[in-house]
Amino acid sequence: MKAFGFAKWLAAASILGAGALASAPAFAVKVGPVDDPIGVVKVAKGQPVIIGGYWVLSGPDTALGLDSKRAAEVYWDQIGGKIKGHPIKFVVEDDLCNAEGGQTAGTKLAANQQMVGALGSACSSASTAAAPILWKQGIVDICTACTAPRLTAADRSKDFDGFARTVFSDAEQAKGDANWMYNVMKWKTAATIHDGSPYAQQLAAEFKMNFEKLGGKVIAAEAISPTDVDMRAVLTRIATAKADVLYYPIFVAAGGQITRQAKEIPGLTKDIISGGSMMTKDFITASGDNIVGMRITFPDVSQEALGKEYPKLVAAYKKKFGEAPIQGFHAHAYDAAKLLHQAIEKVAVQDKDGNTYIGRKALRDAVFNNPQFEGMSGPIKCDEHGQCGRFKFAVYQFNNADPNTFETGKNPKKIYPAQ
């Protein structure tokens, strides 16, 4: 198989100058029966449709990425492992949940000129690095669990014109978190900790804006490194500020250290709240016995809040992998795979010899303009900036320190809104 037209387009684009891809050049590439201003992928008869994926698949946040990868694989199984009669070849890279890993993963996927589209990441830092690399090659990218607000902001860079996501934006999560803490829990002062990642830093900033808009006050804002181990100095400074609540929506390794050490600090609030990346048994392991009573804010993934077909996804997941979903974003990943599949089906053209042609810009536009469908994670409909998923607020509480008891809805159990 060979992708036609892109090298020719790229040479012309270098003359037109930077931003040519985002603004769609006035000429078109024609391959077989398809014209496209960016390029056309030709999938020869009998050859696979190649779809990429990139998630964190090693280290303490493995569950965050592996859960998404598995859900996409469940979807491929459910459509028979084929698109337009071609077998699906799913090429997945480990992005390590950081910018460097995202750059490497994006570069590897983009180097394959037969890559039709990509799913990922689970981490905003990885997507921030990878999405522009993919779009430079005309590859649309649908994120499954990266929630940093800037990724789908109205003023985002043209480098992200090919990026969409079926997961919510933390701009919405922050509103829910602030409202619950201020209006429901009646906490008037808060302290925050972020780890410098786009996810944590932007979420902490959005939370502060929303909390203070309601009348609260963030009286301590601390930053750590994801590799920090001793959190006592940071926690002691926060204890001195005497905030009503500590909010630290970060990742497993550092989050576990904070949870372990919080009870050692005299005067530190007992109300400590984290975020969605902690929805995994690995956080239980990292936190030890101090996990009991720990609360996280997370989208409502109860059966009542999700799509009516969600129980079938869980059943298929268990059958394929021998265990219940290991994190909370599998429904969003399933929906991302479905969104990409529907877009490919819409724009792909076959000739009389059984070859299939997929226009790159046509595919991107089909993703963004796909009719709303009832996804596993709720209604899926993209806006002009690639925001396709919505947020449903909930709070979960861990009740057992045995990692083997982890199951979303049981340990941790949803405590708000009331069941």
pLDDT digits (tens, 9 = 90+) for 132-179: 999 999 999 999 999 999 999 999 999 999 999 999 999 999 999 999
Q: Find, among 274, 223, 265, the residue nearest to 245 by Cα.
A: 274
Confidence of residue 27 (pLDDT cuts 50, 70, 90): low
pLDDT in tens, 388-399: 999 999 999 999
Q: Is the pLDDT of residue 14 over 50?
A: no
pLDDT at 25: 41
Q: Is the pLDDT of residue 291 over 80?
A: yes
For residues 343-362, average pLDDT: 98
Q: Assign domain 171-302+393-416 to its CATH architecture.
A: 3-Layer(aba) Sandwich (3.40)
Domain ranges of the chain: 2-167+329-380, 171-302+393-416
According to CATH, what is the number of the domain 2-167+329-380? 3.40.50.2300
Mean pLDDT for the chain?
A: 92
Q: Find, among 119, 183, 185, 128, the residue nearest to 160 by Cα.
A: 128
- H or E element in which residue 320 lies: helix 310-321
Q: Is the pLDDT of residue 8 over 50?
A: no
Lowest mean pLDDT among 83-92, 228-237, 297-306: 297-306
For residues 291-295, average pLDDT: 97
Nearest 5°: the CA angle 352, 355, 356 is: 115
pLDDT at 4: 35
- The strand pairing partners of 35, in sequence order, are 30
pLDDT at 13: 35
For residues 69-79, average pLDDT: 98
Q: Let me know if the fold of 2-167+329-380 is the same as that of 171-302+393-416.
A: yes
Q: What percent of the chain has pLDDT over 90?
A: 89
Q: What percent of the chain has pLDDT over 70?
A: 93
pLDDT at 24: 42
What is each CA distance from 306 to 128, 312, 340, 398, in whole angstroms? 28, 12, 20, 21
For residues 79-103, average pLDDT: 98
pLDDT at 207: 97
Question: What's the rounded Cα separation, in Å, for the pair 137 and 39?
Answer: 9
Confidence of residue 20 (pLDDT cuts 50, 70, 90): very low
pLDDT in tens, 103-127: 999 999 999 999 999 999 999 999 9
For residues 391-412, average pLDDT: 95
Confidence of residue 12 (pLDDT cuts 50, 70, 90): very low
Q: Is the pLDDT of residue 11 over 80?
A: no
pLDDT at 302: 82
